[in-house]
Structure formats: structure tokens, C-alpha cells
């Protein structure tokens, strides 16, 4: 039943999001595997140019994630998500026609900006349509689907990597665009399956909202909600762990006595553990205090992983390999717990009347974390080795402890002010 619920959910909105996520994730898996080589070997851009272009595009992703929250509240999260996915698909197709740095950068800005838009719109749709435990559970299942199909997409990209020809790389890039266009289909068909979808998404309160909500309170700008902003900042710091796995670990493994091929094994460990444990880790995180504790436990495990990564730099081939595997396991456990807790806080601390704006701010935090992570990881562990790993672990612990304290305070305020069940600032 858990597998069926994950791959074929009964709720029509969850089912459409699941099918769309399958196509989107497979597209991402292929793109991640071939894009860097395509840009450098086929298009002929230097690695520095690619890095600069993607860095600029990352800024567009931050802006897109933030603006999409307001657009979702105004026009409906479903419509914004459809347009975001469609625009990103067209941008991926445009990569096959770029042969100069300015054109590449422009296309990257559109692609990454659109990705930020539809990511926020998806969160807003979840926040509007689902409530309580169901909301976090659906988000967790979507993440499992995302991880599994990214892996399948990466495996499919192996054919292009083996052939190594310009035609093979171009074909792979076209396939990424086609798959992404396929991700639009379930979303476009959704209003026919749920005729009152638009009305519910644009209603003043989401389906199943608590009747005790204060709807007469003034609606302040989201950035003036101090509790929510603090939650976004703390969870964004913890979310830098994604950069540790994708950037820091490959670079660090190359400095140890472990074979570089172990990097693939560590990514497999991460994918499998997330697929098996993410839904279970999300249970109960619809409660704000429990969500904060999940972030704290996840951050502690991330710190343990940092210590193990550091120790791997001082071991023999066998010892280093074993330590890296243990570190990846601790890292993966920390990831699923901190993510589940972060979702719970992002959903439950938000003002339900402006779900889009609040989820837009939350996704902006993740986008900023994605931009900062490579800088922080290379500036600390990769440059300073063991002291850098220990410093990074301390940062995770501090952020996790702060998130738990904030969540505990917010939960206590809800008890003392029972009429307030949305924003807690």
C-alpha cells in the first residue's frame, strides 16, 4: 500500500502532481548527467563561462521563487505551475540552439528562473489543497518519486555518455525538453478532473481550514512575519547540506585514499535511503514543535556525517571507504529528517490566507541555500580539511537547535493564543 500510495495516489491533485513529477525528475536526471559535458564539449564554452552563467541564473531562480508566491495567490498556484514548467521546457529546448556565451546565459536565466517559479507554485498548491498530516505526507511522497526518477533519468543518460558524440548529447538535451513538456500534461488536465480547483485555490482559506482562524487580522507583508522569516533562514542554513553531497563530497573524496568511483556509491546510498525513509520521517511533522525537533535531530546527524567525512581524510583506502559510506548514511538520515521538519515548519507557520506568498519566501530560502552551499563548502571543508568539516558541522547544529527552539516557542504561543492558528509572528 505505501508504494501504491506513492506512485498512484487516490487524490486527483496528488496523482497529477505525482505523474508530473515523474516526467520532471527523469528530465532532471538526464540533464544533470549530460549538461556540463554538452556545454563544454559540444557547444564549446569554457568551464568558467558555464559556471558564471549558471551563477547568474541562480539569482534568477531566487527571484522567480519569490515572485511566484505572489502570482500563485493572485492567479492560482495551478496556473503558475503549468506556465513555469512549460517555459522551462522551452528553455531547455533552446539550449540546443545556443552557441555563444551571452545566448547560453540568457537561456539559463529563463530556465532556472522558470524552475524557481514552478517549484514555489507546487508548494503553494500543496499548502492550499492539503491540510495537516496529509500535506506533509504528500510532499514526502513526491520527494521519493523525484529521487527515484532522477536516478532513472541518470541511468538513461548513460547511453549518451557512452556514445560521446555531439549528436548523442544533443539528442539527450532534446529528450530533457520533451520529458519536461510531458510533465505539463497531467497539470493541464487537472481542472477537468477537479472542476472547482481554481475556486478552491483562490479561496480566502484552504480546504479544511480550521474554523477558529482569525480572518479579520491585517495582512502584513510576508517579510514582516518575524517568526516565519527566522524559520526560513534557519532551515535554509540546514538545507546547505545538499551542496555537501553534490559538491563537497566528490571534491573531498578525491583528496582521500578512497577510489573516486566511491562517489557513485555514496549517491546511490543517499537515493535509496531517501526513497525508503522520507515518508516515514515526515510522520508527525505537521505539528510545529515536532517539526522543529526533526530539524534538530537531522542537523545533529549532519554534524556526525561531517565528523565522519573528516575522519575519512586520515584513513587508508579501506578505512576511508568505510568511513565515507557511514558518513553518507548519517548524511542521508539527517537529510530526510531535516527536510521533513522544514516542510512542516514551512506549512504550519504560514498564514493560510496567503499560502503562495509564504511558500514563495520558503522556496526563496532554499534557492539562496543552493547558491551559497558551493561557496561555503569549498571555503570550509575543501580548503581547511578537518577544521572546516568541524566548523560546518557546528553551523548545522546551531541552525538545527535554533529551528527547534523557534518551533517550540511558536507552538507555545499557539497554545496561549488559541484563536491564532496560522501566522505566529
Q: What pLDDT shows up at residue 206?
A: 46
CB atoms closer than 10 angstroms to residue 226:
12
Residue listed under C-alpha cell 498512484: 8
Please indicate whether the domains covering 2-201 and 222-416 agree at the CATH topology level.
yes
Q: What pLDDT shows up at residue 64?
A: 93
Q: C-alpha distances in angstroms, 355 versus 40, 205, 339, 406, 422?
A: 41, 9, 19, 20, 10
Q: C-alpha distances in angstroms, 273 versus 268, 323, 326, 420?
A: 8, 17, 12, 37
CB-based contact 411:211 (threshold 8 Å):
no
- Which residues touch 386 (CB under 8 Å, ≥6 apart)? 310, 313, 314
Q: What pLDDT shows up at residue 202?
A: 67
Residue listed under C-alpha cell 575522519: 311
* pLDDT tens sequence across 266-316: 888 988 899 899 989 999 998 999 999 999 999 999 999 999 999 999 989
CATH classification for the domain delimited by 2-201, as one of 1.20.1250.20, 3.40.190.10, 3.40.50.970, 1.10.3720.10: 1.20.1250.20
Separation between Cα atoms, residue 346 and residue 231, nearest integer Å = 8
Q: In whole angstroms, how large is the CA radius of gyration of the chain?
A: 21
Q: Where are the domains of the chain?
A: 2-201, 222-416
Nearest one of 308, 348, 353, 313 to 332, comparing CA atoms: 308
Q: What pLDDT shows up at residue 341?
A: 95
Count of residues for the chain? 425
What is the homologous superfamily of the domain 222-416 according to CATH?
MFS general substrate transporter like domains (1.20.1250.20)
Torsion region of 225: left, alpha or beta (phi above 0 gives left; psi -120 to 50 gives alpha): beta
How is residue 254 annotated by DSSP? Answer: T
Residue 151's Cα: distance from chain center in Å? 15
Q: What pLDDT shows up at residue 107?
A: 95
CB-based contact 111:60 (threshold 8 Å):
no
Task: Enter the pTM of the model.
Answer: 0.82
Helix axes 166-193, 77-94, angle to 10 degrees: 160
- Which residues touch 408 (CB under 8 Å, ≥6 apart)? 289, 292
* pLDDT tens sequence across 381-396: 998 999 999 999 999 9
Residue stretches of the chain with pLDDT short of 70:
1-2, 199-220, 414-425
Amino acid at each position: 500500500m505505501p508504494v501504491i500510495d506513492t506512485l498512484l495516489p487516490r487524490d486527483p491533485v496528488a496523482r497529477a502532481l505525482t505523474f508530473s513529477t515523474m516526467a520532471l525528475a527523469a528530465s532532471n536526471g538526464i540533464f544533470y548527467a549530460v549538461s556540463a559535458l554538452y556545454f563544454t564539449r559540444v557547444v564549446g564554452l569554457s568551464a568558467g563561462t558555464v559556471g558564471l552563467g549558471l551563477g547568474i541564473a541562480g539569482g534568477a531562480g531566487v527571484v522567480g521563487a519569490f515572485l511566484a508566491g505572489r502570482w500563485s495567490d493572485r492567479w492560482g498556484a495551478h496556473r503558475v505551475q503549468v506556465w513555469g514548467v512549460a517555459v522551462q521546457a522551452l528553455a531547455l529546448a533552446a539550449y540546443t540552439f545556443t552557441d555563444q556565451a551571452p545566448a547560453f546565459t540568457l537561456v539559463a536565466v529563463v530556465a532556472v528562473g522558470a524552475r524557481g517559479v514552478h517549484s514555489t507554485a507546487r508548494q503553494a498548491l500543496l499548502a492550499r489543497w492539503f491540510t495537516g498530516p496529509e500535506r506533509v505526507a504528500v510532499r514526502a511522497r513526491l520527494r521519493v518519486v523525484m529521487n527515484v526518477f532522477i536516478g532513472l533519468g541518470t541511468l538513461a543518460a548513460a547511453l549518451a555518455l557512452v556514445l560521446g558524440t555531439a549528436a548523442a548529447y544533443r539528442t539527450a538535451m532534446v529528450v530533457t525538453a520533451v520529458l519536461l513538456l510531458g510533465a505539463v500534461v497531467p497539470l493541464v488536465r487537472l481542472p477537468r478532473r477537479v472542476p472547482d480547483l481554481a475556486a478552491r485555490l483562490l479561496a480566502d482559506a484552504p480546504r479544511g481550514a480550521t474554523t477558529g482562524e482569525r480572518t479579520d487580522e491585517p495582512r502584513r507583508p510576508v517579510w514582516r512575519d518575524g517568526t516565519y522569516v527566522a524559520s526560513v533562514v534557519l532551515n535554509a542554513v540546514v538545507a546547505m547540506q545538499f551542496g555537501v553531497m553534490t559538491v563537497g563530497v566528490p571534491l573531498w573524496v578525491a583528496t582521500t585514499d578512497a577510489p573516486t568511483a566511491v562517489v557513485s556509491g555514496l549517491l546511490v546510498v543517499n537515493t535509496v535511503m531517501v526513497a525508503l525513509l522520507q515518508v516515514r520521517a515526515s510522520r508527525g511533522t505537521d505539528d510545529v514543535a515536532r517539526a522543529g525537533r526533526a530539524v534538530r535531530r537531522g542537523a545533529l546527524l549532519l554534524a556526525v556525517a561531517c565528523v565522519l567525512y573528516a575522519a575519512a581524510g586520515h584513513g587508508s583506502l579501506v578505512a576511508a571507504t568505510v568511513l565515507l559510506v557511514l558518513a553518507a548514511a548519517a548524511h542521508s538520515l539527517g537529510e530526510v529528517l531535516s527536510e521533513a521538519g522544514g516542510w512542516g515548519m514551512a506549512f504550519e507557520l504560514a498564514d493560510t490566507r496567503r499560502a503562495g506568498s509564504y511558500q514563495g519566501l520558503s522556496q526563496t530560502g532554499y534557492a539562496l541555500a543552493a547558491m551559497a552551499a558551493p561557496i561555503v563548502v569549498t571555503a570550509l571543508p575543501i580548503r581547511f580539511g578537518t577544521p572546516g568539516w568541524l566548523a560546518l558541522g557546528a553551523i548545522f547544529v546551531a541552525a538545527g537547535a535554533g529551528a527547534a527552539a523557534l518551533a517550540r516557542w511558536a507552538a507555545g504561543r499557539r497554545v496561549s493564543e488559541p484563536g491564532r492558528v496560522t501566522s505566529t509572528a
